Structure 1
Amino acid sequence: MALQKTLSLLLLSLLTLLGLGLVQPSYGQFMYQRFLRQHVDSTQRGVTSSYCNTMMERRGMTRPRCKQFNTFIHADIGAINNICRTPNIRCKNGKENCHEGVVRVTDCRLTGSSPQNCRYQGRGSSRRVVITCEGNAPVPVHFDG
């Protein structure tokens, strides 16, 4: 009887945490958080190489090795989520769950590296981006181009 009460309390606690959003319940939610970390910076309009060098390191894309190329989107997450509401288009992998929109971005391209020192060149523009969206209320999970 005590074991059953303990299990019931654990289940109730887990459901409460899920409801509050304190536990990530799915792979899709993990991919959404990863997308935000790797591609969203609504507070800056970075264009410079210094911006790229700082952000790539800060966001964990320089270890264990330097990421070759990355794009940061300079829009709030609401605007990015709205891209997921545009008509579906074909992704690079052939699936039909990509969407496109025009946003301000900084593209960071690796120009050189040595152990523990990745160097990037930054280029800012407003351009068309393609993102993969998933879920019942679609959210971005992958930057497709």
Structure 2
Amino acid sequence: MALQKTLSLLLLLLLTLLGLGLVQPSYGKSMSDQFYWQHVDSSVTRGDDSYCNDRMQKQGMTTDSCKQLNTFIHENNSTINSICNNRSIPCKNGRKNCHKGSLRVTDCLYTGGFHPNNCKYSATASTRDVTIACERNPQNVLVPVHLDG
């Protein structure tokens, strides 16, 4: 009986933390996998408006609404991962797990239209400093988990 009560309390605690957004379910994807899916496209070196319009729709960033801004990084995974070895700096949220490095990127900025199939974006392609939050994966290796700016 005590075990059942303990399990019930643990389940209630987990549901409460999920509701507060303090724990994020992964649905089979790690935060690093999500980062790469949302921000990395090493198949091109720079994007234009057409690239942004196509890529934002393909990535599902126009399904519920037109996402205002997304940055795509045009580098290979090892180049991006190496930024996690740079000196730590504070993130926008105050945590100290961010790292800065220079990468080729395309910023896709929403300019009008309606979801899901008519969101319009303008592209700004550049090589610039980006800030990436990194965390240790199960193998104890620092990997990118969030694009902070």
TM-score, reference length from structure 1? 0.78
Task: Tell me the residue number matched to 2:66.
Answer: 66
Q: Structure 2: 5+ residue runs without aligned partners? A: 1-24
TM-aligned CA deviation for residue 46 of structure 1: 3.0
Contact 2:133 2:144 in 1 (8 A): yes
- CA change 1:67–1:115 in 2 (3 A) is closer
Q: Structure 1: 5+ residue runs without aligned partners? A: 1-25
In 2, the alpha carbon distance for the partners of 1:35 and 1:78 equals: 14
One-letter identity of the residue aligned with 1:96: K
Aligned pairs (5 A) from 1:1-145: 27=26, 30-116=30-116, 117-135=118-136, 136-145=140-149
In 2, the alpha carbon distance for the partners of 1:36 and 1:78 equals: 12
After the TM superposition, which segments of 4 or more aligned residues of structure 1 sit over 4 Å from their partners? none
In 2, the alpha carbon distance for the partners of 1:97 and 1:37 equals: 21
TM-aligned CA deviation for residue 38 of structure 1: 0.8
Aligned residues: 120
Q: What do you get for the CA RMSD once the two structures are aligned?
A: 1.6
Task: Give me the identity figure in percent.
Answer: 50
In 2, the alpha carbon distance for the partners of 1:114 and 1:108 equals: 16
Per-residue Cα deviation, 1:57-108 (whole angstroms, up to 9, x for no partner) = 1111111111100000010000000000111000000000000100110000
One-letter identity of the residue aligned with 1:60: G
